[in-house]
Amino acid sequence: MKRLERLTVILIKLQSKRILKAADLARDFGISLRTVYRDMKTLESAGLPIYAEAGIGYRLVDGYSLPPMSVTEKEAKALLTAEKNVSQNTD
């Protein structure tokens, strides 16, 4: 799974679960704990209010949720095309 996909799945899990444990995420995605920590830092840097407590896990700050995103079929196809172009031209 590519990083962008993983970050998106983590975001969805954060919105749907109360607490996410780093060890569970590492196991589910087949990645290291260090990668989980970097991914969570990336989401925080993007502006998500993530609360982390050692030994407990990660969660979104109480009361925070992203509004649902609505795109047209044409916009969705454009996003998929852009993603394919970016993944092929990584330099």
Spatial distance between the Cα atoms of 51 and 71, rounded to a whole number of angstroms: 29
Backbone angles phi, psi at 57, to 5 degrees: 145, -165
For the entire predicted model, the pTM comes to 0.71
**Can you give the C-alpha Rg of the chain in angstroms?**
15
Q: pLDDT category, 90, cuts 50, 70, 90?
A: low
Spatial distance between the Cα atoms of 26 and 61, rounded to a whole number of angstroms: 22
Residues 60/50, Cβ–Cβ less than 8 Å: yes
Delimit the domains of the chain by residue range.
Answer: 3-88
pLDDT of 17 over the 90 cut: no
Which of 25, 21, 28, 11 lies closest to 69 in space, CA to CA?
11
CATH class of 3-88: mainly alpha
pLDDT at 76: 83
The predicted-structure confidence for 73-83, as pLDDT tens digits, reads as follows 888 888 888 88
Return the number of other C-beta atoms located less than 10 Å from residue 40's C-beta.
20
